[in-house]
């Protein structure tokens, strides 16, 4: 185990301990054949992941403000580990979808941008911007 993989485990532990961790589903659709007259539908891969959503509102100098984060956009810090503690086998990318439970219903968010925090080339956490 390398230093950075230990850091990834520590980041996952810190998310669980101090963050409001949500269990989510990362959805990646992979096209099969788009060249034929009747293309096959894309194959969908689902990964049970965990992460912390950025709050919708921020407090600046004691005043609640929603101007920093739009209602339909959120930030997400995604663990590099899945819910079952195995390493997430893919890197989230723009175009992926995230299913998040909100008020008892699964709401689908689209990944707008995704970037790993990866010192030394090993992803410790994934920072995503998601939109409805």
Tens digits of per-residue pLDDT, 89-123?
Answer: 999 999 999 999 888 889 999 999 999 999 888 89
Residue 35 has pLDDT above 70, yes or no: yes
Domain boundaries, the chain: 3-30+42-131
Which residues does residue 22 pair with via DSSP β-bridges, in sequence order?
A: 51
Looking at residue 3, its pLDDT comes to 86
Residue 78: is it exposed, middle or buried by C-beta count within 10 angstroms (0-12/13-18/19+)?
buried
Report the share of the chain in percent with pLDDT over 70.
86
pTM: 0.78
Give me the mean pLDDT over the 67-87 stretch. 82
- Under 8 Å CB-to-CB from 107, ≥6 apart: which residues? 99, 100, 101, 132
- Under 8 Å CB-to-CB from 54, ≥6 apart: which residues? 69, 74, 75, 76, 77
Report the share of the chain in percent with pLDDT over 90.
42
Q: How many angstroms separate the CA atoms of 26 and 88, rounded?
A: 10
From 5-14, 17-26, 64-73, 84-93, the region with the lowest mean pLDDT:
64-73
Q: Which segments of 1-132 does DSSP mark as H helices, in order?
A: 3-18
Looking at residue 58, its pLDDT comes to 54
Looking at residue 23, its pLDDT comes to 86
Q: Please, are residues 57 and 63 in contact by the beta-carbon 8 Å criterion? A: no
């Amino acid at each position: 185990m390398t230093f950075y993989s230990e850091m990834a485990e520590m980041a996952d532990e810190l998310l669980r301990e101090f963050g409001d961790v949500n269990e989510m589903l990362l959805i990646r659709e992979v096209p099969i054949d788009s060249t034929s007259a009747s293309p096959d539908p894309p194959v969908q891969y689902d990964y049970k992941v965990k992460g912390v959503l950025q709050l919708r509102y921020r407090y600046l100098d004691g005043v609640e403000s929603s101007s920093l984060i739009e209602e339909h956009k959120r930030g997400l810090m995604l663990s590099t580990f899945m819910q079952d503690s195995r390493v997430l086998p893919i890197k989230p990318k723009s175009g992926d979808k995230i299913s998040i439970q909100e008020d008892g219903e699964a709401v689908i968010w689209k990944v707008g941008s995704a970037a790993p925090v990866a010192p030394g080339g090993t992803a410790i956490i994934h920072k995503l911007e998601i939109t409805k």
